[in-house]
Structure 1
């Protein structure tokens, strides 16, 4: 019944994405076949497209995806992470990764670093490894992928960002040790930063300070829960005395500022620095004497994913999340979608099927 899938293939920076067709292989033990409904272009997709970061290629980019199960292989999970039944017709979201749940990294709570890691939207496209990213009509959900059945009430474009943006923010908040009753400062009010404002608000943060260089994004942050906004580089961060800070920008000056902004005993979490750049210089004496903690986060674990789905199902109508996504392209227009994202820098560009 499902024989062919249209796919968008990225080969190298400077070369247009090509739209081609591939055969849908027979599912392996434990796999699901999903018909994709929507995908958004994450900043990491755009960085790969522009050559700022190097991924295995050719590849099918796209990992912020939502879709519906159309086929179930023998041995596939009968229920999702929350115990809800999985079968054909179910609308699902899934984690960016698949990995052995019994691996050492998984037991340590960082399954996204397991040695057998498979990452959607980051794998090389081969004859034996296909339909592994979101820029395709179908995606094969590999064995040991965390999957959650998603409420039909969540708008499709908002649903797509759960398995990257929203889950990563949930992981960053976890690494702070919790934000309830705390003064939180967030650097970089792109998609992750704006969603972090909302998640910190719902998690009970006492103050939420949004920091960016873009006045329009700072103005929007208030609609997502920010209690104060500040222009990066135009204030002394040491005056903030924040309980915890999170950097989503990846900018070296901003990452340093997240440390300077801490009160004694505070925690800084770095999320944005995922592209190669110069080493950062830090005042080690200040870090030691003030008992600072600095943590890095790359992707997230199943608990973060579960928290992200819960947040979106409960609060998708409380914030103008859908307004953050420019919804103007089809899979055939993937090249145009990337160009629009680069030229206009919206929070996200969406591709519908």
Structure 2
């Protein structure tokens, strides 16, 4: 079988390296995927800039969508929901492979199972290199949750399903029904706008968004947000919120979110995935006001299913395509990262099949 092309990350401050590697024979349970599109996640940027340590060399990128090239001969050729899979089908897959029979998975936390494997975070070796988005191919390992998706979903939208959208689906699960509720979303990046859209689809009465960036607040209105709060030292937030979502990871934002909650309110935190100062919590207020605090890292199988269903039902109702503001070829990945760092867009896309300007001439 032909070689795959990879763009390898060797450490912060070092140039990305293009290399080729033979596509190995598939092992039991594996599927070979041709990557079509990858979007650069915030965690990719943290690694690229040295704010997050990752074993190198590695192939970054875990927000990926692709099409099936081949199966291991013993594969049952079915996705997680039992749909038959064929060569050429478009699929999305969980950002992790785990043991579905483990205690953590049975308890609804497969993303915390022993022996977890995460795409876009693993070390490149001579025999195992195809596990990231900055590559022409990816091998889906046994224990990966695979879901068939419609080819009508734009690639730049489909690529985000298995990270941001699925994570927000998990946050919505933890919040409970939002019908008629007042919600606050702190942090209007991709997680925040997806959260606004999901809250809107779930029937929330008021969707408040809070951020230091006015342009992002305005963007959120296209995704269902109807109350904006531009954060300054003088900003007064409401005090009757039912659910406060934090997508920012900012201790200040989490503390402010707790202060907005009405009696019986719930805080759902998913943004705090990097080191920061500790959050100050008024325990007496939590106790007397019956407040619940929940945290989520990544997502479980059902969240992933919910994410696919949400996008299939809503990708034409909200302007998700507009969230990818620039698109680069695979060989221009370094430019894509530099653009993302400098301009801080919601997302930058890597169209794996796109040719560079030099290749087009």
Interval of TM-score (by shorter of Structure 1 and Structure 2): over 0.9
Contact 1:243 1:266 in 2 (8 A): yes
Q: Distance in 2 between matches of 1:128 and 1:240?
A: 56
Aligned residues: 351
The answer to whether the aligner puts 1:84 opposite 2:83 as a matched pair is yes
* Aligned equivalent of 2:149: 150
* Equivalent-residue separation in structure 2 for 1:202 and 1:83 (angstroms): 27
2:101 is aligned with 1:102? yes
Listed as ranges, the matches of 1:251-266 within 5 Å are 251-266=250-265
CA contact (8 A) 1:327 1:352 kept: no
Q: Is 1:241 the counterpart of 2:240 in the alignment?
A: yes
CA spacing shift, 1:122–1:77, aligned 2, 3 Å:
farther
Normalized against structure 1, the TM-score is what? Answer: 0.97
Counting only pairs closer than 5 Å after superposition, residues 66-145 of structure 1 correspond to structure 2 as 66-145=65-144
Instruction: Please report how far the alpha carbon of residue 241 of structure 1 lies from its aligned counterpart in structure 2 after TM superposition.
Output: 1.4
Distance 1:56 1:103 in 2: 26
1:53–1:276 Cα contact (<8 Å) kept: no
Measure the CA separation in 1 of the matches of 2:325 and 2:212.
21
Task: Name 1:164's counterpart in structure 2.
Answer: 163
Who is 1:318 aligned against? 317
Contact 1:35 1:137 in 2 (8 A): yes
State the alpha-carbon separation in 2 of the partners of residues 300 and 340 from structure 1.
Answer: 29
SS of the equivalent of 2:228 reads strand
Say whether residues 1:65 and 2:67 are aligned partners: no
Task: Give the match for residue 213 of structure 1.
Answer: 212
SS across alignment from 2:56: coil
Q: Give the CA deviation at 1:235.
A: 2.5
Q: Give the secondary-structure state (helix, strand or coil) at the position aligned to 2:144.
A: coil
Checking the alignment, whether the CA contact within 8 Å between 2:266 and 2:293 is kept in structure 1 is yes
SS for the counterpart of 1:96 is: strand
Which residue number in structure 2 is paired with residue 330 of structure 1?
A: 329
Task: Say if 2:166 and 2:306, in contact at 8 Å, map to a contact too.
Answer: yes
Give the aligned partner of residue 358 of structure 2: none
SS at match of 2:153: coil
1:275 correspondence with 2:268: no
Offset at 1:352? 0.3
Match of 2:228 in 1: 229
Taking the aligned partners of 1:299 and 1:56, their CA distance within structure 2 comes to 20
Separation of aligned partners in 1, 2:320 and 2:162 = 15
Secondary structure, counterpart of 1:169 in structure 2: helix
Q: For 2:106 and 2:40, how far apart are their aligned partners in 1? A: 31
Aligned twin of 1:19: 18
**Normalised TM-score (structure 2):** 0.95
What secondary structure does 1:199 align onto?
A: helix
What is the distance in 2 between the residues matched to 1:182 and 1:305?
24
SS of match in other structure, 1:143: coil
CA contact (8 A) 1:62 1:134 kept: yes
Alpha-carbon distance in 1 for matches of 2:210, 2:319: 20
CA positional deviation for 1:329: 0.6
The alpha carbon displacement at 1:330 in A equals 0.6
Describe the superposition over 1:127-158 as per-residue Cα deviations: whole angstroms up to 9, x where unpaired. 23210111100000011111111101100110
Structure 1, unaligned runs of 5 or more: none
Q: Which runs of 5+ in 2 are unaligned?
A: 353-361
The range that moved more, 102-111 or 72-81, is 72-81
Question: Matches of 1:43 and 1:35 in 2, distance apart?
Answer: 23
Deviation digits for residues 159-202 of structure 1 (CA, Å, limit 9, x no counterpart): 00000010011001111123122111100000110111111111
Flag as ranges the 4+ runs of structure 1 deviating above 6 A.
none
- Separation of aligned partners in 2, 1:240 and 1:292: 13
1:31 aligns with 2:27: no
